[in-house]
A = this chain, B = another copy of it.
Amino acid sequence: VTTASDSGAAPATAAAGDKPLRIGELAELSGTTPRTIRYWEELGLLDAGSDRAEGKHRSYSHADVERVSEIVRLRNLLGLSLEELSSLLEAERGRAHLREELSHTESPAERRRILEQLRGHIDAQLELVRGRRRELDQLAGELEDKQRRVRERLGETTG
């Protein structure tokens, strides 16, 4: 139902990229459940697809698989609330809009302004991810220390 793809990755085959998907297929391909997708749609995280008669089946595209997969990934890795995720995704829609704008403007000053906004958004997201990674590195480091100490003591025992 939604159509715009953000990633620009070409589908494996042109034909496969066009086949409409049912909610169960979308869920499986993006690592979640139909219930979760309906819930996200209810909250406005996902597009409701404007014109679906009550009781009729939802229909999705492969671009939706990209989008839902990314939300699932961000949720799992960053542990954000859906409200936080929502604003992050809104920023991402904003970026898509900026790219659109960029492709239509010639003025170097304008192009520069748009690109700098894009950079700001990406930098912010990157800082979030790097912060998490630092914490995980710290934890991994501590575990590696423990591991090393046990290995040394194992080396001391005979056998």
Contact = CB atoms under 8 A, between A and B. Distances in A.
Interface residues of A, number: 36
Q: What DSSP secondary structure best describes chain A's contact surface?
A: helix
Nearest to A116: B154
Interface stretch (A30-38, A59-67, A129-137): A129-137
Given A73-B139, A79-B79, A130-B140, A159 B123 contact: no
Contacts of A4: none
Interface of A: 73, 76-77, 79, 108-109, 111-112, 115-116, 118-119, 122-123, 125-126, 129-130, 132-133, 135-137, 139-140, 143-144, 146-147, 150-151, 153-154, 157-159
B154 A115 contact: yes
Nearest to A135: B77
A150 B108 contact: no
Nearest to A126: B143
